[in-house]
Amino acid sequence: MAGSNSTQRLRDLIDTGFGSNSSVEGGRLINSDGSTNLRKRGIPFWERISLFHTLLRMRPGKFFLLVLVAYTSINLFFAGLYLWAGVEHLVGGDQALTFPQKFMEAFFFSSQTITTVGYGRVAPSGIITNFIASTESLIGILSFAVMTGLIYGRFSRPRAYLLFSSNILVAPFQGGKALMFRIASYKNNNLTDAEAQLTLALHVLENGKTVTRFYPLKLEYSKVNSLAISWTIVHPINEESPLYNYTKDQVAQSKMEVIVFIKAFDDHFSNIVQQRTSYTWQQVVYGAKFLPMFERAENGAYTLLELNKINLHELLELPAKVEN
């Protein structure tokens, strides 16, 4: 492939964790949310899945919907057991005549039992009904203990809360050009000692076979003391860059992917947080520069950071000698 000669003199990475055989890759290596674009098989599903990690990383809406479904399902199951044992063994309950009324009595008694509320209006009588109620109480104690731990873990899990620009730009830079994207912290946390590491994945033709080569990308600044506002991360495309002399068409042919790794210290968590993402060749915008996303407030008392402008850029002409 044209352009591959310029990368041969650069030392590529061999410890990225990704294979070099392009023929077995499917799509991008890293998804935009930072997860690995990989599915595993060969062993049973329940051995491949960590339930704890799945519940911790699940989206909030999906998590609480799952909790509601699980809570309702357990109550429906035990309501059926109470109906099987006979609602007449629930002392103090209304002497319902219809089946729906009996079911509702059993269902709400189940919800009071599993939460250990026990209003005292209805109580089980008989060995079978008491055994069902005691079993449900035990399940309730255990499940609510697990749920408390999961909710605490979800709220206390350190996260970087970083917002990335949707595109990565090729923009004029110091008489040449550079690859750049922008990040910002979108929560009210304070990130210090932020560090960026970029790895470039290129599909190149070697000995008649397409292989994937990985190269570290040198940055203008790889570390900043504080990520209070936005940070434009810049990789100069010079003679030391694996993208040197690559044209727009050659970048597309190589199916370029830039893997981004950001880590910083969060003084709220008093811990190091990290976040990953990647940009593919389809997300590259040639001949553009980012527009400012922060400004002084009208009263001059503070700086206003407008997060909705993180991807705001304008097109411009690259110098003729670097327009490709």
Question: In terms of domains, do 145 and 28 share one?
Answer: no
> What band does 48 get if pLDDT is binned at 50, 70 and 90?
confident
In a domain, 240, yes or no: yes
Distances (CA, A) of 73 to 66, 76, 77: 10, 5, 6
Domain span including residue 215:
5-38+159-322
Look up tokens 């399940």; give the residue. 139
As for how many domains the chain has, the answer is: 2
Mean pLDDT, the chain, whole residue set: 86
Q: Which among 20-24, 113-117, 204-208 has the top mean pLDDT?
A: 113-117
Give the residue, 114 or 45, on which the prediction is more confident.
Answer: 114
**CATH number of the domain residue 97 falls in:** 1.10.287.70
255-278 burial: b if 16+ Cβ within 10 Å, else e: bbbbbbbbbbbbeeeeeebebbbb
Question: In terms of domains, do 144 and 163 share one?
Answer: no
Q: Of the residues 93, 123, 156, which one is the last residue of a structural domain?
A: 156
Question: In terms of domains, do 108 and 242 share one?
Answer: no
Write out pLDDT tens, residues 168-194.
999 998 888 999 999 999 988 889 999
Task: Count the residues in the chain.
Answer: 324
Question: In terms of domains, do 140 and 56 share one?
Answer: yes
Question: In terms of domains, do 221 and 309 share one?
Answer: yes
**Does residue 30 have a pLDDT over 80?**
yes
Question: In terms of domains, do 163 and 24 share one?
Answer: yes
**CATH number of the domain residue 237 falls in:** 2.60.40.1400
Name the H helices within the chain.
5-8, 45-48, 51-57, 60-85, 99-114, 127-156, 248-253
Least confident of 143-157, 198-212, 274-288: 198-212
- Can you spell out the DSSP letters for 118-130? --SS-EE-SHHHH
Question: In terms of domains, do 82 and 225 share one?
Answer: no
Question: In terms of domains, do 67 and 173 share one?
Answer: no
pLDDT at 7: 46
> Could you tell me which of 147, 153, 145, 113 has the C-alpha nearest to residue 129?
113
In a domain, 260, yes or no: yes
Q: Of the residues 96, 130, 156, which one is the last residue of a structural domain?
A: 156
Give the residue, 213 or 197, on which the prediction is more confident.
Answer: 197
Question: In terms of domains, do 121 and 217 share one?
Answer: no
What's this model's pTM, rounded to 2 decimal places?
Answer: 0.78
pLDDT at 4: 47
**Does residue 235 have a pLDDT over 90?**
yes
Run of H or E residues at 226 = strand 223-226
> Could you tell me which of 126, 127, 131, 89 has the C-alpha nearest to residue 106?
89
Question: In terms of domains, do 177 and 302 share one?
Answer: yes
- Can you spell out the DSSP letters for 167-222? -EEEEEETTEEEEEEEEEE-SS--EEEEEEEEEEEEEEEETTEEEEEEEEEP-S-S
Q: Of the residues 109, 126, 156, which one is the last residue of a structural domain?
A: 156
Write out pLDDT tens, residues 248-272.
888 888 889 999 999 999 988 889 9
pLDDT at 285: 93
Kindly state the average pLDDT of the residues 68-92: 91
β-bridge pairing 223-226 and 284-286: unpaired
Question: In terms of domains, do 34 and 182 share one?
Answer: yes
Give the residue, 46 or 244, on which the prediction is more confident.
Answer: 244
Write out pLDDT tens, residues 140-170.
999 999 999 999 988 888 888 999 999 999 9
**Does residue 286 have a pLDDT over 60?**
yes
pLDDT at 2: 42
